Structure 1
Amino acid sequence: MSELLLLIVYCALLGSGVGFLAGLLGIGGGLVIVPILSIILLQFEVLPADQVVVAAIATSLASILFTSTSSAIAHHKNGNVPWELAPWIMTGVALGALISGFLAAMLPEQIVRWVFAISVALISVKMFYSSAKSETDEERKMPNKGLLTVLTTMTGGLSAMIGIGGGALLVPLLTFFSVNMKKAIGCASACGIVIALFGSIGYISSGSAHFDLKDGFAGFVYLPALLGIVCTSWFTAPLGAKATNYLPVSTVKKIFSVLLVVMAANMIFSQ
């Protein structure tokens, strides 16, 4: 088996797990893809070590475009996408993702790595805390549409910078304002499409000066890895979305929290 084919097989295995988690948690899968794909790219010496994380983030975003679409369709069919909020949230995340797609490519690899690790660690602490809260806790009103757009612009910007679909940040934000957990996950899946699209545009544009299509790259996006991930994640995402209807909310939050801790630790100690 050629090295390229073996790389695609590894990425297909990664995609199968990522797709299920994307549907289950609305995370797009980037939290899992970025650290693991970084290891795969290093192992196969696809590109210089100091550009591996940026390429993994860009490829993650491109794959999330497909995975989140599959997941969002499934959540929509289950009635878990709050379309009365989604347009305002999508506007914010699109703007933030487009801007950060250009900015992240200019930052040193070490800074991007630490931003990823610290961000997901903080998200994990917040999610684990919220999973232990009582269902009778005080409800918080959703902010006005303008403030909501500002908040989601920052959310979308950070999500695109670290290569995630947005669920890791949007789900805690929406549940903080008392949005039902399942609807928050459904909304995050839909918004993941927007973050992935605009973030990918930024990474493809900024990376075009560094890599060529003949080498398997569209900007910073490594196309063979993208193919491997998407060919399985598209089919497993609906299975994860279906699972949200059977798992208790507190269980989903705890799964989310533990996953984030593992990924943050991996990103820090794999240097």
Structure 2
Amino acid sequence: MIAGFSISVLLGLTLGLLVTGAIAGVLAGLLGVGGGIVIVPVLIVVAELFEIDDSIAMLLVVGTSLATIIPTSISSARAHNKRGAIDFDILRGWVPAIFLCALLGGIASKSIGSNGLTLIFGAVALVASINLALPKTMTLSQAPPEGRIKQGALALPIGFTSALMGIGGGTLSVPVMSMLSVPVHRAVATASVFGLAIAVPAVCGFVWAGIGVEGRPPGSFGFVNLPAAAVLFSMSVLTAPYGAKIAHLMEPRKLKLAFSVFLFISAVRMLWKALT
């Protein structure tokens, strides 16, 4: 018996996290989302199972999800880069602002609180899912802006909000790039790199915010639970390349619809939890 749970329950939980990690890896490669769109809802259920205090539960969930995105994004980005799909011009203009704001988002997480993070996740994901499900995604421009200031202005909210949601940059950056007429396969591939630029600084912020906080489960480093993160990314790094392969075989419209469905399901779950 460990912390009130039998060995069989803990083994079942581990198996569930391995399966979640495998699915998250496929989605990371397929949709450029870093896998957090699946990991966050699952970890919320785990937090409820272990009766983690609501005041820190979502902080731990988001921090742990972000930690899994680091190796998953590397695996996904490598697979997309082999196909020459990453737009390095966009990366050079957007990554510095994304990195900075992801760090600020991680630090600000403690002040926003668990319920606030849940509400942000649900609201932003719902808007993004509806936009992608439309027959024709709203077009703001025939090409991404070229000036560094304009590029940075677009990237700022992506980095900050993604850090607070515990997800890779694809949830927000893929819809934004689609509205700027970037082909969806290229947007997904580029977003896989954004996941790394978001996760590294954001994890640092969540670690700092959680140091010394009471009620965290064993194995937690700040607001990152290392055992859960390790189990999840042990599978996600293996399956991300398969998701990237599937993405390049799918029609753009189907890819957008797949992205929209997963976003919508996660959004409804988060909003329900935050508002009830």
TM-score tier by shorter-chain length is over 0.9
| Match runs of 1:37-186 below 5 Å | 37-45=43-51, 47-129=52-134, 132-133=135-136, 140-143=142-145, 144-186=147-189
CA contact (8 A) 1:93 1:195 kept: yes
Question: What amino acid is aligned across from residue 150 of structure 2 in structure 1?
Answer: L
| 1:219 matched residue in structure 2 | 222
Q: Report the alpha carbon displacement of residue 167 of structure 1 after superposing the two structures with TM.
A: 0.2
Q: Tell me: CA distance 1:212–1:38, structure 2 relative to 1, closer, same or farther (3 Å).
A: closer
CA contact (8 A) 2:207 2:223 kept: yes
Pair 1:264-2:270 in alignment: no
CA distance in structure 1 between the aligned counterparts of 2:215 and 2:268, rounded to whole angstroms: 33
CA contact (8 A) 2:71 2:233 kept: yes
Q: Report the alpha carbon displacement of residue 104 of structure 1 after superposing the two structures with TM.
A: 1.4
| 2:3 matched residue in structure 1 | none
Q: Tell me: CA distance 1:151–1:3, structure 2 relative to 1, closer, same or farther (3 Å).
A: same
CA distance in structure 2 between the aligned counterparts of 1:39 and 1:6, rounded to whole angstroms: 14
Q: Secondary structure at the match of 1:148?
A: helix
Identity across matched positions, percent: 33
Q: Report the alpha carbon displacement of residue 229 of structure 1 after superposing the two structures with TM.
A: 0.5
Moved more, 1-10 or 69-78: 1-10
| 1:11 matched residue in structure 2 | 17
CA distance in structure 1 between the aligned counterparts of 2:215 and 2:44, rounded to whole angstroms: 20
Please report the TM-score for the alignment, with normalisation by the length of structure 1.
0.93
Q: Tell me: CA distance 1:227–1:211, structure 2 relative to 1, closer, same or farther (3 Å).
A: farther
Q: Tell me: CA distance 1:6–1:127, structure 2 relative to 1, closer, same or farther (3 Å).
A: same
Q: Report the alpha carbon displacement of residue 7 of structure 1 after superposing the two structures with TM.
A: 3.0
Q: Tell me: CA distance 1:118–1:54, structure 2 relative to 1, closer, same or farther (3 Å).
A: same
CA contact (8 A) 1:211 1:220 kept: no
Please report the TM-score for the alignment, with normalisation by the length of structure 2.
0.91
CA distance in structure 1 between the aligned counterparts of 2:188 and 2:79, rounded to whole angstroms: 12
Q: Report the alpha carbon displacement of residue 138 of structure 1 after superposing the two structures with TM.
A: 8.8
What is the CA RMSD across the aligned residues, in angstroms? 2.0
User: Could you report, residue by residue, the CA deviation over 1:89-142 in whole angstroms, capped at 9, with x for unpaired residues?
Assistant: 11111011000101112223222111111110011111112xx128xx796232
